[in-house]
Amino acid sequence: MEKSRIETILAPVSDKKRAEREDHVRRSFWTKLKRVARRIPFIEDLVAAYYCALDPNVPVRARGILLAALAYFILPFDLLPDIILGIGFTDDMAVLMYAISTIRSHMTDAHYAAARKALAEEEIDIGTAEPGRA
């Protein structure tokens, strides 16, 4: 995925739009994650990004970038539809990894610990994917 396309997806938006994204992510994230978890090699990073995006101690700009990336992940039809076996999540991963690299200093061990705990509690199988930081 082109860097300019990713930057467009993650571009700053109004407070109203950011609040709409947060609401959408809160409502839809876990449903989508549970449905596709076995096909996502970056699941721990994805869930840690979720916790970072909802952390009120994280600066608004960083939260906005992550909310945009998470909203893109939730979209059923994006640049590469998620149903395409093998490559369907590559655009989602590109957007998420770019977002994380942009705000990396705000993603803490606590966000990753919350991700691991949630994945265990939800009994989401991370399959053979190697967990860890992006």
CB 82 within 8 A of CB 89: yes
Residue with tokens 């979720």: 50
Cα 7 to chain centroid distance, Å, stands at 15
Length of the chain as a residue count:
134
Fill in the amino acid letter for 120: A
pLDDT of residue 131: 41
pLDDT digits (tens, 9 = 90+) for 17-53: 999 999 999 999 998 888 878 777 788 999 999 999 9
Element (H, E) at 62: helix 60-74
| Cβ proximity of 116 and 83 under 8 Å | no
Residue 2 CA to residue 76 CA, distance in Å, equals: 20
The percentage of the chain sitting over the pLDDT mark of 90, rounded to a whole number, equals 54
Task: Output the pLDDT for position 47.
Answer: 95
The per-residue pLDDT of the chain, averaged, comes to 83
Which helix (H) or strand (E) segment holds residue 74: the answer is: helix 60-74
pLDDT in tens, 78-132: 545 544 544 556 788 888 999 999 999 999 999 999 999 999 988 776 554 444 4
Q: What residues does each domain of the chain span?
A: 3-121
Q: Which of 85, 87, 86, 53 is CA-nearest to residue 70? A: 53
Q: Which residue reads 């994204």 in tokens?
A: 21
- Write the pLDDT tens digit of every residue in 49-58: 999 999 999 9
